[in-house]
Structure 1
Amino acid sequence: MTPTTIKEVFIETINIPLDAPFTIATGVKYEMENVLIIVRLENGIEGYGEAAPLEPVNGENQATALATLNSCKNFLIGKDAAEFRQISKHLKSVYGVQVTARSAIEMALIDAFTKSLNTPLYTFLGKAENQIETDYTIDIVSAETARINATKLARKGYNTLKTKVGKNLVEDIDRLLAIKEGAPNCRLMLDANQGYSPADAVHFLEELEKNNIRPELFEQPVRKDDLRGMKFVKDHTSVPIAADESVFTSADAIKVVQAGCADLINIKLMKSGIVEALDIAAIARSANMELMIGCMIESRLGLGCAVHLAAGLGGFRFIDLDPHLEPAQDPFIGGPEFTEPVYSLSDEIPGIGVAKK
């Protein structure tokens, strides 16, 4: 038995109402409904992991994540957190579709292990950067609300704004125009969450061009399994196309590279887990594709882990890690310091650096 052997496992739910509904083309979320796993090692150190399921994206919900994590408790006890890759491989073979639960376990193991090394997670991953700047997402709201929100966000210092599209083409264009009016100096990013057909996606970009709007990127314009459709969009625009829901695994990333249907890949820990995310990043870089990192509806814990990954690996052109909770609402403290719109990491705090309130 080593000091990093897992001695105890604790599982809790996280339920926090959102100030405003989180609306994307494929669904609406009114509450953060996540699951926390805590692993306690023989050396007394605890590691924290968060599962943040979003049913329209990954097909999971709090109940499925909770059931999976509870079923893994006995398996984890007695395992060595240092062997997180081997543990991850085994869990993937058994719980292939329960990725948010597996991601939470990986997060907890790596948090505990790097704490045992007295090393920040981003240093463990390579320490490429110690600061990253995020955009902020404006959901599918009315044009007037989008304009007001864009003005507020620009005043807070955000340089890049992202908005969800894909439900109604005319309303999407009106929202983009309103955001441009409210924050004329901000860069704009689009995320359709699979909401368009290939032809409508191209038409949408053409209409934006008529209004002198050229987005920084267009994320997942078509269905995740329609790689030919995504390539059609890519071939008919100079706007960079990002694969999001199309890439959950490294095998998916290889398919996207082979299809030549995207310019970049959006990595999310709740789609892939940490170990798989490292493999996806390596595949994208080997194919000279850009990298983006995004999130679902995580607390400070899940977001903090994603910040560590992006800063540790470096080279992420697009950062989409805006918080969904105000600090007073968040059940955690610590982690990367966030002064809008910049995350800063410390060399003094090991692991992810997040603790329960």
Structure 2
Amino acid sequence: MDATKITHVSIEPLNIPLEAPFTIAIGAKHNIENVLVTIQLENGVQGYGEAAPLEPINGENQATALATLTSCKPFLIGQKASDYRQLSKQLKNVFWAQATARCAIEMALLDAYTKTLEIPLFQFWGGAEHQIETDYTIDIVAPITARENAQKLAQQGYKTLKTKVGKSLKDDVNRLLAIKEGAPDCRIMLDANQGYTPSEAIHFLEVLEKNDIRPELFEQPVVKHDLQGMKLVKENTSVPVAADETVFTSADALAVARTGCADLINIKLMKSGLIEALDIAAIARSANIGLMIGCMLESKLGLSTSVHFAAGLGGFQFIDLDPHLDPEKEPFKDGPAFNAPNYQLTNDAGIGVRKK
């Protein structure tokens, strides 16, 4: 018997309503519409993976992820989870544009494999840290709501707040002033989601400075392909600039390193997949580019995998893995323990997440 041989693969939609719309500069989501992959091995171990497509970001949606994953089932049956790197390579050669679908498979493979090895995933990746601290994101909302949310989050223990910007400079400034008023001791991060031109981004930072607001980070200020525009922003501010949508692959990370257009790279497993994310992190470190980790609209399963990734590798300067769902509405349980704003890694094998 080959313990890690895949005997069964199931694929099902993962639909969860959000309490409030998740709004960014290039779109809004009212529901989590993901896909769950379950891989069963010959030894009886099950591994779980999640695809969390966000069409405005990666061009994928639930329907495309379901179609891709369904077409992968015949290929996966009979393969070995221990061959996860080779399987990842083959899947990327065929489904290079379907990153969230590939991520779900890689997640399930590694969950099942590390469960078989009886070690936590973060230990498999190096076990650099046992606890990481996340920020919390305030969406594009009215200033009064932003102030109330900031005050509540500060009282819960969050030390860093991130807000979305890029739709209206005036509204963005008013929201940031409200956040500062509600949580004066919290650090503030900005995420424009490609919402500004280079000149608008520079002007925006100048306006913030006049209002005595200095962000800790300015994420993806311009459209993703405008590396020279991002470099212009970087060269005209002392605020660190992070590339997010600009980097989906290791080749993208190399382009950032070559042009010197960003101080940090935001790794999101749903943009690249798990194996490609390891390559992106290696390139960033070799080029003295800082590391950040973020997320899409994942459930506890996807978020927990990102927690394992950041803790396993270590050295991430910014952690943006705030939970989107009330624990009661989560379809999963266990995994890294969360006590705002900290994730505590456990000794549970694999990702440690189980279906309710």
TM, length-normalised to structure 2: 1.00
**Structure 2: how far apart are the matches of 1:9 and 1:149?**
41
What residue in structure 2 maps to residue 114 of structure 1?
Answer: 114
1:33 counterpart = 2:45 = no
Q: CA deviation at 1:191?
A: 0.1
Q: Deviations over 1:124-170 (max 9, x none)?
A: 00000000000000000011100000000000000000000000000
Matched residue type, 1:355: R
Q: SS at the partner of 1:2? A: coil
Q: How do 1:202-213 and structure 2 match up within 5 A?
A: 202-213=202-213
Alignment: residue pair count: 356
What residue in structure 2 maps to residue 351 of structure 1?
Answer: 350
What residue in structure 2 maps to residue 56 of structure 1?
Answer: 56
1:23 counterpart = 2:23 = yes
Q: SS at the partner of 1:212? A: coil
1:46 counterpart = 2:46 = yes
Q: SS at the partner of 1:31? A: strand
**Structure 2: how far apart are the matches of 1:191 and 1:65?**
26
Q: CA deviation at 1:2?
A: 1.2
Gaps of 5+ in 1: none
Q: Deviations over 1:188-235 (max 9, x none)?
A: 000000000000000000000001100000000000000000000000
1:94 counterpart = 2:102 = no
Q: Deviations over 1:96-115 (max 9, x none)?
A: 11000000000000000000
Q: Deviations over 1:218-257 (max 9, x none)?
A: 0000000000000000000000000000000000000000
What residue in structure 2 maps to residue 333 of structure 1?
Answer: 333
Q: Deviations over 1:46-78 (max 9, x none)?
A: 000000000000000000000000000010000
**Structure 2: how far apart are the matches of 1:75 and 1:84?**
13
Matched residue type, 2:351: I
What residue in structure 2 maps to residue 245 of structure 1?
Answer: 245
Q: How do 1:255-294 and structure 2 match up within 5 A?
A: 255-294=255-294
Matched residue type, 1:54: L
Matched residue type, 1:233: V
Q: CA deviation at 1:178?
A: 0.3
Matched residue type, 1:275: I
Gaps of 5+ in 2: none
Q: SS at the partner of 1:232? A: helix
Stretches of 4+ aligned residues off by more than 3 angstroms: none
Q: Deviations over 1:290-309 (max 9, x none)?
A: 10000000000000000000
What residue in structure 2 maps to residue 178 of structure 1?
Answer: 178
What residue in structure 2 maps to residue 254 of structure 1?
Answer: 254
**Structure 2: how far apart are the matches of 1:17 and 1:126?**
35
**Structure 1: how far apart are the matches of 2:90 and 2:289?**
29
What residue in structure 2 maps to residue 295 of structure 1?
Answer: 295
Q: CA deviation at 1:34?
A: 0.3
**Structure 1: how far apart are the matches of 2:280 and 2:34?**
24
**Structure 1: how far apart are the matches of 2:132 and 2:163?**
20
Q: CA deviation at 1:346?
A: 1.1
Pairwise CA RMSD: 0.5
1:194 counterpart = 2:194 = yes
Matched residue type, 2:24: I
Q: Deviations over 1:17-63 (max 9, x none)?
A: 10000000000000000000000000000000000000000000000
TM, length-normalised to structure 1: 0.99
Q: SS at the partner of 2:190? A: strand
Percent pairwise identity: 70
**Structure 2: how far apart are the matches of 1:39 and 1:162?**
35
What residue in structure 2 maps to residue 322 of structure 1?
Answer: 322
**Structure 1: how far apart are the matches of 2:181 and 2:62?**
39
Q: SS at the partner of 1:328? A: helix
**Structure 2: how far apart are the matches of 1:146 and 1:287?**
37
Q: SS at the partner of 2:251? A: helix
Q: SS at the partner of 2:193? A: coil
